[in-house]
Structure 1
């Protein structure tokens, strides 16, 4: 695989592209610092993606809401909100509001059972201030892990019984067993630790075989690991800050960032795609039990 296999999906470049998701034939992603959700699909205006939502707070990641077309659950600002077409965000929980130091949500995903898992971090990336939250289907919010710094993922295996979680600042990915009924986590076990010069694990996704694909911030690569944490694939990307990865439509897609690049090249901040035989399960949706 060569770095020049990648092509921009459209001309736009983003300060901090994140949260790539392939859903119903379209690629969704966010510009985190701008607080904007975009989508792009075949037949769209080739010059720009479609703007789906704009918030006045940072927007980390989204998941679709089952049975409610056009609605998304989002990790944004100090908490979790429902995004509805033509309406103001409806906050489900704001657990980081009023924290002793400024905090924001960072990354998120649903498990196959329909719960939403969202991470938080200090706005200045202060060590150990971040958390992992679980939003249950009844809308209740539970802080399930603390002591994180820049938590990314989470990503679930196809059964929803294994959770992978990265702490980018520490170069570490851990795995937890998950009780599919209650959502309770087992103890963390090391999955991958990246060494100096290997980049920092950022956004992740799991394919149909249960292999974990990890965007490596600062390294210009995507790594693929088997369920035992063995490195099986290295995909070069032509810009250093690779932030998330998604599979769909016979392609691998990545978001990238201009953020903190003194001399960004032509691919920095672009949403890129390349042909890929890898397939992945549909993006898991939030399945609310409330109106």
Structure 2
């Protein structure tokens, strides 16, 4: 049994992307619908909020001390204050309703990210790698709703979620080239259990997948066996990660957007960041090796 606690008083309409920043001892996460980046010194410091855009979905720290975030059509450097400008790295310019979604730094130090179609048309999106020349190169096409991603502890396998297909994939990963091969379905989630969303891999190599709308996490072995179903005290968990000393604390971001939009009751913890001792630690996060320049409008 995993017992969850609420980390702070912050409530996100659509919380996402928890990131542990070891150098500052901070937890970072996003509120996508408010385009806001939150950071908190672990575990009890005040929450600092930076409004970035109308829709920002990810934030990752870079090796030079800067950070990268997203706007709908690409990637930006996080400015010291104020909103981001137009994207420095543009993706999918010919499909105006698609948007950057989830992203994470790979074992090679490059940023990998995916996209979704806000009109939910099938197969228009992809999975991308940000290279050192600041070009985003596609690794996969035909994606409908790209979501959680992570790697095995040895870096040889990349995991990836296409939420609308209800599937978690495993792919062979070449950390030198930053390429994937041999995509296969690792797990298929019954829609009655929720929609697979954000995910993380622990130090033992097992996957934790948040099931949006299902009030649970699925805990999978690397071969796709379902090890455990972990109930959450909210209906809409969105993503998960590990934080704190020794990366010993499981962190789950959540949302209340669907409840609010449907006129359903919202509890006092919907949208909260949840924490728990899960009996296993996470893996040390990697800093992005490819910082972005500031958009000229922010200099």
TM-score (norm: length of structure 1)? 0.91
Determine the structure 2 residue equivalent to 1:226.
221
Residue 177 of structure 1 deviates from its aligned partner by: 0.7
Deviations 1:197-238 (Å, cap 9, x if unpaired)? 111110011111111111111111111111111111221101
Deviations 1:246-267 (Å, cap 9, x if unpaired)? 1122321111001111232232
SS of residue in 1 equivalent to 2:34: coil
Rounded to whole Å, the distance in 1 between the matches of 2:175 and 2:113 is: 17
SS of residue in 2 equivalent to 1:229: coil
SS of residue in 2 equivalent to 1:169: helix
Determine the structure 2 residue equivalent to 1:54.
51
Rounded to whole Å, the distance in 2 between the matches of 1:152 and 1:195 is: 17
Determine the structure 2 residue equivalent to 1:38.
38
Rounded to whole Å, the distance in 2 between the matches of 1:263 and 1:169 is: 26
Determine the structure 1 residue equivalent to 2:286.
284
Rounded to whole Å, the distance in 2 between the matches of 1:180 and 1:158 is: 12
Deviant stretches of 4+, over 6 Å: none
Pairing partner for 1:112 from 93, 107, 110: 107
Contact persistence 1:112–1:285 (CA under 8 A): no
Is the deviation greater in 204-213 or in 5-14? 5-14
Rounded to whole Å, the distance in 2 between the matches of 1:120 and 1:35 is: 16
Determine the structure 2 residue equivalent to 1:266.
268
For structure 2, the residue ranges without an aligned partner over 5 or more in a row are 294-299
Q: Does 2:190 align with 1:189?
A: no
Structure (1/2) with the larger helix percentage: 2
Determine the structure 2 residue equivalent to 1:26.
26
Residue 84 of structure 1 deviates from its aligned partner by: 3.6
Determine the structure 2 residue equivalent to 1:12.
10
Pairing partner for 2:140 from 126, 140, 145: 145
Contact persistence 2:18–2:251 (CA under 8 A): yes
Rounded to whole Å, the distance in 1 between the matches of 2:241 and 2:156 is: 20
Q: Does 2:253 align with 1:255?
A: yes
Contact persistence 1:176–1:185 (CA under 8 A): yes
SS of residue in 1 equivalent to 2:174: coil
Rounded to whole Å, the distance in 2 between the matches of 1:176 and 1:76 is: 27
Contact persistence 2:51–2:83 (CA under 8 A): no
Contact persistence 2:73–2:99 (CA under 8 A): yes
Instruction: Give the alignment's Cα RMSD to 1 decimal.
Output: 1.9
Contact persistence 1:202–1:243 (CA under 8 A): yes
Contact persistence 1:138–1:290 (CA under 8 A): no
SS of residue in 1 equivalent to 2:164: helix
Residue 289 of structure 1 deviates from its aligned partner by: 7.7
